[in-house]
Chains A and B, each alone.
Chain A
C-alpha cells in the first residue's frame, strides 16, 4: 500500500516567520511531487511541483525534495495570515497509477 504521510497539525506560526511543512512517502519509485493549498470550503489549488532532488523556489515558496530519504518539504517564507490553509502533499509513482495525496497539514498564521 503506497502511502503519503503528513503531520496533521495545526502548525501555528507568527506573521513574518518561516513555516515548514513536511511529507514522507513510501514508494521509492515515485517520480512527481506536488504541493496544493486548500482553503476551508474550497478546492485544492496547485502551489508547486517538483521532480528532481534539491530545491525549487517560487516567490515565497520553496519545495525541497530528497528521494533518498523519501522526503519532500515546503517552506513558506514571510508567512502571511492569508497563508492559513490546509496544505496537501501529493506523490505520483509509475505511469498509469493514481496520484496519492496525504491528509494535509493545517497551517495557522497569526498576525
Chain B
C-alpha cells in the first residue's frame, strides 16, 4: 500500500507570496492532519480534516488555511508569506481520527526569502 505523499518536496518563495501544498493520504485513510516543524519548536499542529470538514484547528493565524477533497486528498495554503513561515510542513493520515496511529508523508520544505 502506498504511503502518504506530499508535493512539492521543496519550495522557495518570497515574502508576501502565497503557497499551496498538497497531501495524498494512504488509501482508505480519511483523517488528514497538518503540522509545521521548525528547529526548537517541534511539531506544531495546524489543522485536521475529516470528510471534507475541518475538525480541529491549532493556534495559527488565519493566513494558514486548508481543505479536503472528497477523495481525502488535502491541501493547505499560506497567504502573505512571512520569513517565519520557513519550515518543514508535514502531513499525516490516519484511518478515522487523529487519536489513531498517524502516518507521515515526507514533508514539504518551504523557504521564504
Contacts and interface: CB of A to CB of B under 8 A. Distances in A.
A12 interface: no
Given A43-B106, A44-B90, A98 B58 contact: yes
Contact of A45 (B88, B99, B104): B104
Interface string A70-91: 0000000000000000001010
Interface residues of B, number: 24
30 contacts: A31-B99, A34-B102, A36-B104, A43-B105, A43-B107, A44-B43, A44-B90, A45-B104, A46-B102, A46-B103, A88-B42, A92-B98, A92-B99, A92-B100, A94-B99, A96-B56, A97-B56, A97-B98, A97-B99, A98-B45, A98-B48, A98-B56, A98-B58, A99-B33, A99-B99, A101-B35, A101-B42, A101-B43, A101-B45, A103-B42
Interface of B: 33, 35, 40-43, 45, 48, 55-56, 58, 88, 90, 97-107
